[in-house]
Chain A
Amino acid sequence: MAAGGNGGPSREDLDALGEKLAEHERRQAGEERRRRRRAASPYGFGFRLVTELVAGVAAGFLGGWALDRWLGTSPWFVLLLTPMGMAAGILNVVRAARSAEGERHLDAIAAAEEEARKGSGKKE
């Protein structure tokens, strides 16, 4: 390191070091995110799809029940809105699976299957 006038590191040195650190940090952060996505979140994503389905039915039923109580039309809104809630749940699941996050999981699964097929092929 080129020493400054009083033995300490010069301004340019520090700037260069800072830049290098920032570059490294960016790369590491990107890698970290990618790795975590591939490794840890399929469980979370799977659970997300399940709750999405359940929440649809629950929202439909609760909405219908509240409307029935308010308007005194029991049980008609429950009968109408619960199936609609199921449809909404399925819609949410399809949307979540088609989102960028869902695509990434599907890619990861396809890649893992490909790898597994190659691995078992080699052994036989």
Chain B
Amino acid sequence: MKGEAAHGAAEAAGGLALDPMHQFQIQRIIPFKLGGLDLSFTNSTLWMFIVVGVCAAFLLLGGSRLVPSRWQSVKEMTYEFVAGMMRDILGDSGRAFFPFVFTLFMFILVANMLGMVPYSFTVTSHIIVTFTLALVVFILATAVGFVKHGAGYLKMFVPSGVPAYMLPILIPIEVISYFTRPISLSVRLFANMMAGHTMLKVFAGFVVALGILGGWAPLAMMVALTGLEILVAFLQAYVFAVLTVIYLNDAINMHH
């Protein structure tokens, strides 16, 4: 991450005031208030638009010919990848949810990957963003469950093959376990992205602090970490999509 290192250098010049958390700061670009709500257009908003723009450009450009170009092959591979994953878990009953899962996967993947570009802003490194995404998944899965099974969906919370006197303890545990879903889903993505980016910044600070003699070791470490981070960026988008499909599967087929 050349840009991040340079960024660190600029800050270190002013008396080693290197702040690895600076990259996560929200800055208002166009301040805007509606009633008591702060609806300013921030750098986070800007990067969300960029993410959507890159997604759209990636999927809409590049042609759609019978004999695909390289670009089109990559597009088809992403499609096949998500479609195959959904077929594995959900079977054919969940085809209707493909657009939703694919959109979610692409948005998170592109947001994570763009976060790897120096000087960019990682949208998914804020828990409020990932939690909102997770909440959308959670509400959708719950709604699908109730639409499909009516009140019978509440049987989700009654474990089978358990003596009746255990139920007063086990049902609240099942309910809590159900409500952990949006939390674990959002914390996983946010923690991975934030921890990775903070670590990169900290190592970049070491490079600057140790100078030309000792800086090589943390620099080598950063090269390795950057590779790892790209893997994590992909993996977390994939895990988010997989769990979305698993939750939808629970709602549709109701086997826990």
- Using a CB–CB cutoff of 8 Å, the interface residues on chain A facing chain B are 25, 29-30, 32-33, 40-41, 43-44, 47-48, 51-52, 54-56, 58-60, 62-63, 81, 84-85, 87-89, 91-92, 95, 99, 101
Query: Please, how many angstroms separate the alpha-carbon atoms of A65 and B239 in the complex?
Result: 30
Find out whether the CB atom of B183 lies under 8 angstroms from the CB atom of A58: yes
Query: Please, how many angstroms separate the alpha-carbon atoms of A13 and B246 in the complex?
Result: 41
Find out whether the CB atom of A89 lies under 8 angstroms from the CB atom of B180: yes
Task: Kindly identify which residue among B81, B173, B179, B192 contacts A87, using a CB–CB cutoff of 8 Å.
Answer: B173
Find out whether the CB atom of A48 lies under 8 angstroms from the CB atom of B188: yes
Contacts of A88 on B, CB cut-off 8 Å?
173-174, 176-177, 180
Task: Kindly identify which residue among A29, A51, A56, A95 contacts B176, using a CB–CB cutoff of 8 Å.
Answer: A56
Task: Kindly identify which residue among A40, A54, A87, A92 contacts B231, using a CB–CB cutoff of 8 Å.
Answer: A40
Interface residues of B, dominant DSSP: helix
CB distance from A9 to the nearest CB of B (A): 12
Contacts of B80 on A, CB cut-off 8 Å?
25, 29
Query: Please, how many angstroms separate the alpha-carbon atoms of A92 and B256 in the complex?
Result: 11
Find out whether the CB atom of B191 lies under 8 angstroms from the CB atom of A51: yes
Residues 78 to 107 of chain B near chain A (Cβ within 8 Å): 80-81, 84-85, 88
Query: Please, how many angstroms separate the alpha-carbon atoms of A101 and B85 in the complex?
Result: 12
Q: How many residues of B contact A (CB 8 A)?
A: 31
- Smallest CB gap from A40: residue in B: B235
- Smallest CB gap from B235: residue in A: A44
Task: Kindly identify which residue among B84, B183, B242 contacts A59, using a CB–CB cutoff of 8 Å.
Answer: B183
Contacts of B235 on A, CB cut-off 8 Å?
40-41, 43-44
A-contact bits for B222-256, CB 8 A (1 contact / 0 none): 00000000011011101100110010000000001
Which of B88, B183, B236 neighbours the largest number of chain A CB atoms within 10 Å of its CB? Answer: B183
Find out whether the CB atom of B180 lies under 8 angstroms from the CB atom of A48: no
Residues 161 to 190 of chain B near chain A (Cβ within 8 Å): 169, 172-174, 176-177, 179-181, 183-184, 187-188
Contacts of B234 on A, CB cut-off 8 Å?
40
Query: Please, how many angstroms separate the alpha-carbon atoms of A52 and B181 in the complex?
Result: 8
Contacts of B81 on A, CB cut-off 8 Å?
29, 32-33
Find out whether the CB atom of A54 lies under 8 angstroms from the CB atom of B184: yes
Contacts of A56 on B, CB cut-off 8 Å?
176-177, 180
Apart from A29-B80, A84-B176, A87-B173, list 15 A-B contacts with CB within 8 A.
A33-B84, A33-B85, A33-B88, A47-B192, A51-B184, A52-B180, A55-B180, A55-B183, A58-B180, A84-B169, A84-B173, A85-B180, A88-B173, A89-B180, A92-B177
